[in-house]
Amino acid sequence: MAVDFRFYHRVGELNAKDIAGELDAELAGNPVCSAVDVASASAPSPGALVFVESTKALEAIASHPCVIIASAEALKGQSFHPGSALITVKHPKAAFAVMAPRVIAPRGNDSSSAIHPSAVIGQGAVISPGVYVGAGASIGENCHIGPNAVIGTGVEIGDGTHVGACAVIGFAVIGRNCRIGPGSVIGEAGFGLVPGPQGLLELPHFGRVVIGGDVRIGANCTIDRGMFGDTVLGDGVKLDNLCHIAHNVQVGAHTLMAAFAGVSGSVNIGRGAQFGGRVGVVDHVTIGDGVRLAANASPAGDVPAGETWAGQPAQPIRSWLRELAVLKRLAAPKRRTVDAGRAAGQDKDDE
């Protein structure tokens, strides 16, 4: 998906030869290819700076002239667009983290005025004291923005949406009639860290958060924007207080999550799923339509549609209950032996 320039701006154009020189890397292909954009290897665009760590994404890259930062293993024996530049490094993701912010960067919030002159406030909207509204932001009709909330540059909020006190919203497109609780933070960069030659680096994020209509987000929730592409909450999703949705997660319509639910990056959740309290989901898995996860469940892989799972790691609830029953039976004789020993000791004391 292309970068949304309501939230980001182009910093400059980087020549492949200059990038290779700064990274002290080997350069092949077209040395005058320039990076004017950033993209994922699975959805590149012409002139994009991309990184490649495996051969899985190379088919998509072959159709566009790009500046490609990759490991030698990923490039071996592969064919590329004749206009592309190939930069070989040992740590491609770390090299991308260093160079990408010099091509595309987030738009900052102008603090010179509480409500930027270019912001659009719909008829009947209530803007409470202390609210900040950034450049190009759009707040729909009959919205209510609570005290000290921050609506960042370019943010779009649909008609009838209520935003609680001290909520912070950036890099987001929000639908109609939503409820966002006090203290919630929407659109921050995800927890993307990568080891490099000088230690851990933070990966830049160039995506958005897209929230459908009639969504309820409780107090003190966090929803991270995508690294590339969007983090999406479908229509009618309901989040309890203190839930966390990581970057690039897709949450299907009418999904429910109880308090302390946490979803790691790039998870795909189907329609109508139900999460109990403290559910934790690992990254890059699929939770099918209508799945029910019991409180404290921690699925470590895909969960088929319509199933109910429980446990740590989670499994179908019937097998989990059978395991509990077996453990209970194994523990019961030990308790009887201990109780019998205590009774025998008491009898001796009575003598």
Q: Which residues are catalytic?
A: 247
Whether residue 208 contacts residue 189, with contact meaning beta carbons closer than 8 Å, is answered with: no
How many other CB atoms are there within 10 angstroms of residue 26's CB atom?
12
Q: Alpha-carbon distance 347 to 339, whole Å?
A: 13
Residues 6+ apart with CB under 8 A from 157: 137, 138, 139, 140, 143, 151, 163, 169, 174, 178
**Angle, helix 16-23 to helix 92-99, in steps of 10 degrees:** 120
Phi, psi of 102 (to 5 degrees): -90, 0
CA distances from 137 to 166, 168, 222, 335 (A): 17, 13, 20, 65
* Torsion sign across C-alpha atoms 145, 119, 160, 261: negative
Cα–Cα distance measured from residue 52 to residue 64, given in angstroms and rounded to the nearest whole number = 14
Alpha carbons 278 and 225: distance in angstroms, whole number:
22
Residue 18 three-state SS:
helix
- 3 state SS of 174: strand
